[in-house]
Amino acid sequence: MTHHILILCTHNSARSLLAEGMLNHLARQLCKDVQAHSAGSAPSGRPNPFAMEALGQAGIDTTACRSKSWDEFTTPQAPPLSIVITVCDSAAAETCPVFFGGAGQPVKVHWGYPDPSNAEGTDAAKRRAFELTRQAMGYRMLQLLALPLDTLSRDELQQALLSIARS
């Protein structure tokens, strides 16, 4: 069974796209049946170029990356979501819509990251902020992929995701 994971951030232009790219890349490398998606409550409509560059530098194909609304995941045609992860504080504070899932509502967790889009200074400093965010997300995504997703109960999954959030 494919585990569909939705990663939310308000504008779906940087952090959520970094997380989606990292999770899909690592899942393929580890032969895990996980498919990441990302969306935003108020999508910007375009990926942040520094985010796309950070993914590209890590060998991740960004041709399919796009900024999209979380509304795409609220229809009966949307993939059944197992997990919803918010990666920015403003998205975590928003009231999420109802997401259709295979077995009820998906497990929700907040994994906050500072917004690398707010990095100041030279382009090199901004690139470094995006790269550090990409690496931090990759670390948590590896922890997520190490979980026995097919055998954990909903409560066990929630606790495991919260434990990763504290790491």
For residue 147, give its domain range. 3-166
Q: For the segment 129-162, what is each residue's pLDDT rounded down to a tens digit?
A: 999 999 999 999 999 999 999 999 999 999 999 9
Q: Is 88 a catalytic residue?
A: yes
Q: Which residue has the tokens 């009231």?
A: 95
Q: Is 96 a catalytic residue?
A: yes
Q: Which of 96, 119, 129, 161 is catalytic?
A: 96
Q: CA-CA distance, 46 to 12, in Å (whole number)?
A: 8
Q: For the segment 71-89, what is each residue's pLDDT rounded down to a tens digit?
A: 999 888 889 999 999 998 6
98 band by pLDDT with thresholds 50, 70 and 90? low
Average pLDDT over every residue of 64-68: 94
Q: CA-CA distance, 124 to 122, in Å (whole number)?
A: 5
Phi-psi region of 55 (alpha: psi -120 to 50; beta: other; left: phi over 0): alpha
* Residue 19's CATH number: 3.40.50.2300
Q: Which of 5, 6, 8, 9 is catalytic?
A: 9
Q: Is 65 a catalytic residue?
A: no
Q: Which of 6, 88, 147, 160 is catalytic?
A: 88
Number of structural domains in the chain:
1
